[in-house]
Structure 1
Amino acid sequence: MPNRLDETDENGDAAGQENGADSNEASSPATTDLNNNPLKPRRLTRAVTAGARRLSGKTMLSRRSTLHSDRNITVDLSWYSFWLSSRVQNLPLTYRQITLDGEQISEPGVLHRLMDKVGQYVKERKGLSVDNIIEYLQSTGSINYTDTKSHNCVRGLIFSILGWQSMLYQPDLTIGPSTQLAIYHEDSLPDSKFVFYTYKMSANLCDRPLFALLKGFGNLLPAGYQTPQETSVLSKKAVASWIPLYPSDVNAYLLTTLLGVRFRWVDSISLHLDFDKSSRTLSLFCFPSICVSQLRDGGSIFAFASMEAEAADPRANESDIAHLLGEILLSYRLLFGQSKKSRKVFRQTFDPQKLPCPQPDTLLAVLCSQKQVPAKLGDFPLPVDRHIYYAARDFSVLHDRIELLFQELNGTRPKSISGLLKDRRDTLQFWTFWLVGIFGSLSVTLTFAQVVMQAYQVSHGN
């Protein structure tokens, strides 16, 4: 049965909401044979779904956490198993034939065990490369191969696993095993060019640290203020010189009504708040519970943390990654949760059927459609709402993306009377319009009455 979240409106009343709050039952993925091969996607899908429910540690796929407040709200994390099964059902045949401890990846539970091994290893080591992970698996006798083609297949599979576990990117499995690593992207989808510089990299770079390999694709993990000099300059700036971001001025309602922005819910953390100006599309990550779980338990995303201090090309370190995950959670409150009309926009536009996974993350509805959220998710503190935000302070990693939205809104003025009525950012302009309208209407009414009275007097005088 679908899960239903209680929705809090402006008056504090609880009402069940259908949009964005239901956990729809996921239908079974396609189960057709791949190239008429006896290794069937059905078996692999069932194996991944069953294995994902048993994962512990980094992957944290099926556990439930409770928001402790005056009323308990359960946030379901079991959506991950459905999401993962939809991703691996098209795993290339050559990937399926990779063996772990003598068993093929397509066998029940084998891919789960491999993901668990990779997840545990990257949690215990820093500055790893894809080849380091493969060498570890070889040293334990888990994976064995002799030819170059198999080596590239294993490289591609490990790269894919890191993407699935971190949800930082989604690997492209359509090209099949090759000498390249590829990240999935449809040409028809919006692309701001601010995140990805390219979607393919040579597999020979698998000997480089993960943070260096990732940087080759683009700015998937933005870096915060890296050097003490930058931090010092920032701290010396007077608060008065910072641009204040009010939830009433930067929110989903204004983005949709004034800019005509369309929201695209994505399953890649790297694309969160990526704004494509040409198509007026804002990408938003739709699985916030992964941010909570990775922050709480040190997830695979931290394997991409840079070990370089004060690099010429700044890359995100562990602190930046932690800030990024927290800022993603906070951004839902800024854009949706703290504005009544924006919460309504979320309920009206959020369609679980259009998500990358048929079963939505219920924490998303909590953050985006409730006026107030509990202080903690279990023992993990949720972001605290502010009356005023500053990009440099509250979004030290995502400040460029937040400021771009602010600049777009700030440079836009209503183009119609209806738009003027909806735009309350400029209070003086808003009330001036109403006062002019009221007094203008009153003046016209009095003038008309005076003309009628004069006409009446003239007619009776004659």
Structure 2
Amino acid sequence: MKLGEESFLSRILPNTGPKLEVDLETQVQDRNGPEASPSSTLRSQTLQAIFGLSGEEIKRFPGIQAYCDHIESQVKPLTDSGFSPIWPSLSNSTACTITDCWKFLHAVAYNFKSAEKDTSIEDLKNHVLSSGENVRESSDALLLAAVFAAVCLLTMTLQPSLDFEPFGGQICLACRFPSLTDESSPQGQIARQNLREAKRPIKRVFELFEHSAWDDQPTNMDRSIGEHDSLYEGSLNLEVLLFGRIKIQWVDTLSEHLRFDLVSRRLSIFRFPTFCVLSALRKGGKETTPLLDSINEGFRPTTLEKRYQNYVTLEQEVLVSYRLLFGQSARSRNLIRSDLKKLEQSGQPFDNLLYTLCGPKKEADKLPRSIWPVGCRDFEQEKLLESDVYSAQSDFPRLGYRLINLQRFSLRQKPRRLTDLWRDRRNPLQWYTFWAVLWVGGAGIILAIIQTILAGVQVARS
């Protein structure tokens, strides 16, 4: 394609369809001067393409801008000289700005929404380009890597890596997994697949990374969970977890949520809950994206029988887990609030919906009821229905085994101080028995001492 010709992106953006009513410009930092306004418009277009929701619906959740800020930081490598060969085919220019990146992301999301389950990375790349365009082999490889990275970011399932230096500059499909055990390696570990895999269905490509994403699952998960299906809020809230000196590590991908490392005692928590809320609203409104649903289902898939008996989406599991770990205990709410303030002040993109989901129930009840699993809805009052006991199989069909592992660790921990003994209610019967014996026995001892003293005084006077 020559530079004088009109590119595919310039034909469909930003004039495709009716003008958006949502103006998110005030929520976007001025990164590129005069380009901030078109960038905010493209953000809105991309969000609507991802979630299939109207601008007004998305506007109700301003926390989604943290997700956009995160994506923007991740696609900055596309503006470097290493990716300059792809832009003549996309935007009539060898230079690239953040606005051009958002045009590219919107084009991927636009075609991704209508893609079938068996669509490949190469098919998606060809849809992003116009049908008659040809690119050089080197540019084609970079485009495949860029499209794969865009799909990872738009679905929040994996964290892509656009740095090919660890592989001797060889272009490939690469993902980064955070390291929970090696503090000297904050960038984590990188898994890669050959570019030949780009011809396979996207779902299959993502499944190739499944072993790295879900390598903590037991061999026979159903049997492992079946023996210990109950999840107790008293054993999993943050206050109790701190008995074991567990640290929270905020992560960017759904596949890392609730991963727990026994060595470092780090618990991974997904930090963009607004993404889950909008995804749940999309599915609750029967808006389907076959390819996206197949990718999410590929990560720790559930059987057809379980899916029809009690269908819970991955995003709904994540949302309920915030309440289970942080929201149902007053002490846990106070503890996580201080942690959230540190995260907010760290300068990283911060989703303020975390305060709502980890806060009092009256705040969580303001969220749409449809975002919660059917088993966690109060249909009479149209509110969230919380419980002291959850089912690993029914309420958390994908993440349940991680909660089971976390609960096992929690139950092995012993309180170290008297105040910890008072707060430790993992076993309510044992707690009430212990303190009842302590108070009654203590009172009996005190009365016996008083009685002895009085008897001694009487003897002395006589």
Which category describes the TM-score, using the shorter chain as reference length?
Answer: 0.7 to 0.9
- Distance, in Å, in 2 between the alignment partners of 1:158 and 1:336 is 36
Question: Aligned pair 1:127/2:118, yes or no?
Answer: yes
Q: In structure 2, what is the Cα distance between the partners aligned to 1:42 and 1:170?
A: 28
Give the residue type in structure 1 aligned to 2:83: Y
Q: Indicate the residue corresponding to 1:155 in structure 2.
A: 144
| TM-score normalised per structure 2 | 0.72
Structural mapping, 1:410-429, within 5 Å? 410-429=411-430
Q: Aligned residues, how many?
A: 398
**Could you list the runs of 5+ residues in structure 2 that have no partner in the other structure?**
1-25, 216-220, 377-384
| 1:294 and 2:294 correspond | no
Q: CA deviation at 1:382?
A: 3.5
Instruction: Give distance in 1, aligned partners of 2:359 and 2:100.
Output: 39
Decide whether the 8 Å contact of 1:263 with 1:284 is kept in 2: yes
Q: Name the structure 1 match of 2:6.
A: none
Tell me how far apart the structure 1 counterparts of residues 411 and 171 of structure 2 sit (CA, whole Å). Answer: 46
The code of the aligned residue for 2:154 comes to: Q
Aligned in 2, Cα 1:369/1:62: closer, same or farther, shift over 3 Å? farther
| Range that drifts further, 203-212 or 156-165 | 203-212
Which of 27, 38, 46 is the equivalent residue of 1:55?
A: 46
Listed one character per residue, the Cα deviations across residues 137-167 of structure 1 (whole Å, up to 9, x for unaligned) are 34524x64223x2222112111111111111
Where in structure 2 are the equivalents of 1:145-184 lying within 5 Å? 145-147=135-137, 149-175=138-164, 178-184=170-176
The answer to whether residue 229 in structure 2 is matched with residue 243 in structure 1 is: yes
The letter of the residue matching 1:137 is V
CA distance in structure 1 between the partners assigned to 2:233 and 2:207 by the alignment? 33
Identity %: 24
TM-score under structure 1 normalisation? 0.72
Matched residue of 2:48: which SS?
coil
- Greater CA deviation, 417-426 or 94-103? 94-103
Q: Does 1:435 align with 2:436?
A: yes
Distance apart, 1:328 and its partner CA: 0.9
Would the aligned equivalents of 2:158 and 2:175 in 1 still touch at CA under 8 Å?
yes
- Does 1:267 find its partner at 2:252? yes
Decide which of 253, 263, 275 is 2:239's aligned counterpart: 253
The equivalent position to 1:279 in structure 2, one of 264, 273, 288, is 264
Give the superposition deviation at 1:443: 3.8
- Trace 1:12-411 onto structure 2 (pairs within 5 A): 48=39, 51-59=42-50, 63=55, 65=57, 75-91=62-78, 92-99=80-87, 100-104=90-94, 106-107=96-97, 109-125=99-115, 126-141=117-132, 144-147=134-137, 149-175=138-164, 178-185=170-177, 187=179, 199-219=191-211, 243-256=229-242, 258-295=243-280, 296=282, 297-298=287-288, 301-302=292-293, 304=295, 315=301, 323-351=313-341, 353=343, 358-373=348-363, 377=367, 380-383=370-373, 384=376, 385-387=385-387, 388-411=389-412
Check the 8 A contact 1:82/1:359 in 2, yes or no. Answer: yes
Instruction: Provide the C-alpha distance between the structure 1 equivalents of 2:203 and 2:214, rounded to a whole number of angstroms.
Output: 11
CA shift at 1:77, angstroms? 2.3
SS in 2 for 1:127: coil
The question of whether the paired residues in 1 share the 8 Å contact of 2:276 and 2:319 is answered with: yes
Structure 1: segments with no counterpart, 5+ residues: 1-23, 30-40, 68-72, 224-229, 308-312
Distance of aligned partners of 1:411 and 1:43 in 2 relative to their CA distance in 1, 3 Å threshold: farther
Matches of 1:183 and 1:251, distance apart in 2: 31
Deviation at 1:129, TM superposition (A): 1.7
Q: CA RMSD, aligned part only?
A: 4.0
For 1:249, what is the secondary structure of its paired residue?
A: helix
Following superposition, the deviation at residue 216 of structure 1 comes to 1.8
Q: Name the CA distance, whole Å, in 2 between partners of 1:82 and 1:189.
A: 27
Distance 1:89 1:179, change over 3 A: closer
Q: Is the 8 A contact 1:45 1:89 kept in 2?
A: no
Question: Which range moves more in the overlay, 152-161 or 448-457?
Answer: 448-457
Letter in 2 for 1:150: S
